[in-house]
Structure formats: structure tokens, C-alpha cells
Amino acid sequence: MPALERLRIEEHHSLDEVYAFLTRNGFGDGLPLIPPTERRVAAMLGGRDPAAVVAVIEPAKHAATLRALAQCAVMAGCLPDHLPVLIAAARAVGEPDFNLLGHATTTGNAAVLLLVHGPAIQRLKFNALGNALGPGNHANAAVGRALALVLRNIGGAVPGKTDMATQGQPAKYTCCCAEHEAASPWGPLSLTRGVPAGQSAVTVFAIAGMVEVADSGSATAASLLTTFAQSMTIAGNIGGAGTLGSGEPLVLLAPEHAAIVGREMTRKQAQTFLWERARLPLERLAAALPVPGDKRSARVQERIRAGRTENDRAVEGGVPVALRPEDILIAVVGGPGQKSTYLPTWGCGTRAITRTIEA
């Protein structure tokens, strides 16, 4: 696949010619693309240094220059004002703790969720309300898609070559939404991530699917969070860290659910409640699966399952969704309705990364 940096498309090339060329050379995602002509790329850059390197993107370890980011932004349909968001996202996925090398090449269905915080939400019209995780919003769709094109066109995560997902998931096309900060009883998630109030930022998560949590009957925090805890125990998402998934699983509370929990609990209390109760009993694991976090013999593991010996703390009372309560991240997203979303993290080692959006 030719380097994105060498790509030069001029105005006289027809749309059909450009699309055929981009698709033939592996730059596309299967959907129509905006031709990244020199004029459009220059407008996207807005006078920035095209050679400036923002990050190194795994697995190809290619440099994400501002020119390459601008090309991906154009192809995805972004506006020039969206580029700073994409720059922050590229910096975030380039961080070693995000482990892009791992989840860009896994046979699992890992995808990147981009969550936007701060004044950029209103200024750039990101959707934090109804259908925030779905279609219909330009900023959400275009910026999420641009990041997916960065992973493919700069990072080299090409399906069937380096991206070895067995089935994949639709979120690999685009997955971006904004935090409904005004509806949060605890303030924005970004404040807990070290971002000052009033500062725009993005957080990236390596997610392994989405689980809808519907509960229109609970009127107390404990009752509602019990529904969440039971919805978070997914046996097929056991990770290498002795948890269900790894890193920092994400709970996206709908505003109505957030109001119920917020009346009685702080964010920290809600995290602790979920951590204590969102555990998969060992007896519910298939016999062929190893006990997470335990490296002893199969005979000892059988005794552990039967409750005749102690395992390490990670599996006391069952397999937890995270190693610590504070690793369960909670944000408020969505519109009317008592339906929220749980997003387990990819199971082989990743951390959510937050980076500020520069003006």
C-alpha cells in the first residue's frame, strides 16, 4: 500500500477515478470517500505545518503527520474545525498504555470509541443527546470515521492483513459521541481524568462491543446498579489480567438513570458498588477455561472452582470487571429514556487515554 504522504490528488481527477484509486490501494473503508485533493487538504490544515508529527501509529509504526491526518479527515467528510479533535485523538491512541498494537491486530472485535468533552461539544455540534452512539450527526460520524481511517491508512490496520478480527463490529467504521455534561450529577468524566474545567478534551477506549442496559422499574441507586452489575458479567470477555475484559470498562448512563444514582451516591460510591457486585461466579465458567489470574495446575483450579481452596484476591467472590473500583469509568450520554449502555474493554490489556484538544 503506497504511503499516504505520497498521495497527490488534483481537481481534474473525477470522483469515480479517485474512489477507484483509493479503494484499489487500500485507503478506504468500503464507503464513499471525499477526494483528498491538494486544495481540500490545504484548507483542512489551515496553515499548520503539514510535516509536523503528532504521533506514531501502530502496528505499522508510521508517523501521523498533520498532512496525513488532514487527508484522513477530508476523506471522512470532516470540516476544518474538526481537525484539532482528530489530532488529540491521534495523540491518545498513540500512547503506549492504549496498546494499539494489540487491539489493532487482534482476532477479537476491538474498536476505538472516541468520547468528546468540554466546550468543543457545543462549538462543533457533537451529539451527546438522543442516538449519540447512532447515526444522524455530522461531527460524530465524520470524526469517528476519520480516526478509523487513521488506524487503517497510517497505522496499517488493514482487515485480513494486520487487522485479524474474526468477526469485527460496526463500531470499526466510526464510533464517536460526546459526554452529556449538563446531565451529570457528578460533573464531567474529564474532570476525573485531570482535565481542567472548561477545557475541551477527548478520551479513547478500546471497546469490545456494546450491551444495552434497560431498567425502567428501579427507583433507587442500589436497585438500578444491581441491574448494571448483572449486565456486566460476560463470561466470553475474560481478559489476561484476571478480569472480565481489561483496563477501564465504560458505563454510559442515560440522564434519567444518572439522576437516580446521583441522588444517593457519589461517583466513587457508584464505582465501588459496581466493582463489588459485578463479578462472575467461578462455577459459571466453562470447565475448559482457566481461572483468570491463576497459574496453578488444572487440578488446583478444579479445587478452586469447587470452593475447596483460596484463589488470589482478583477472583474472590468471582471474576471482577476491573482490578479496582476506580477503573470502572462512568459518563452520562443520551436523551430521554431509561436505557443505558455498558461497553466492556478489549480483554488483552488497554487503558483509556485522555488528551486535551488544542485551539
Q: Which residues constitute the domain of residue 322?
A: 4-281+317-356
One domain, residues 80 and 208 = yes
Closest CA to 77 of 34, 43, 120: 34
* Same-domain pairing of 259 and 294: no
260 and 183 in one domain?
yes
| C-alpha separations of 151 from 33, 34, 255 in Å | 16, 18, 32
234 shares its domain with 304: no
Instruction: Render each residue's pLDDT in the chain as its tens digit; 359 residues.
Output: 346 777 888 787 788 888 888 888 888 999 999 999 999 999 999 999 999 999 999 999 999 999 999 999 999 999 999 999 999 999 999 999 999 999 999 999 999 999 999 999 999 999 999 999 999 999 999 999 999 999 999 999 999 999 999 999 999 999 999 999 999 999 999 999 999 999 999 999 999 999 999 999 999 999 999 999 999 998 777 766 668 887 799 999 999 999 999 999 999 999 999 999 999 988 787 776 666 655 544 544 554 455 443 334 445 678 899 999 999 999 999 999 999 999 999 988 999 999 999 97
Whether 276 and 334 map to the same domain: the answer is yes
Smallest CA-to-CA distance from 104 within 148, 53, 141, 170 is with 148
Q: Do 182 and 294 belong together in one domain? A: no
Distance CA 63, CA 78 (A): 21
Query: In terms of domains, do 305 and 246 share one?
Result: no
Claim to verify: residue 167 and residue 292 sit in the same structural domain: no
The answer on 197 and 303 residing in a single domain is no
C-alpha torsion sign, points 197, 198, 199, 203: positive
197 and 293 together in one domain:
no
86-119 burial, b at 16+ Cβ within 10 Å, e below that, comes to bbbbbbbbbeeebbbbbbbbbebbbbbbbbbbbe
User: What's the rounded Cα separation, in Å, for the pair 230 and 278?
Assistant: 6
* Claim to verify: residue 189 and residue 217 sit in the same structural domain: yes
Q: Are residues 137 and 108 in the same domain?
A: yes
How many structural domains compose the chain?
A: 2
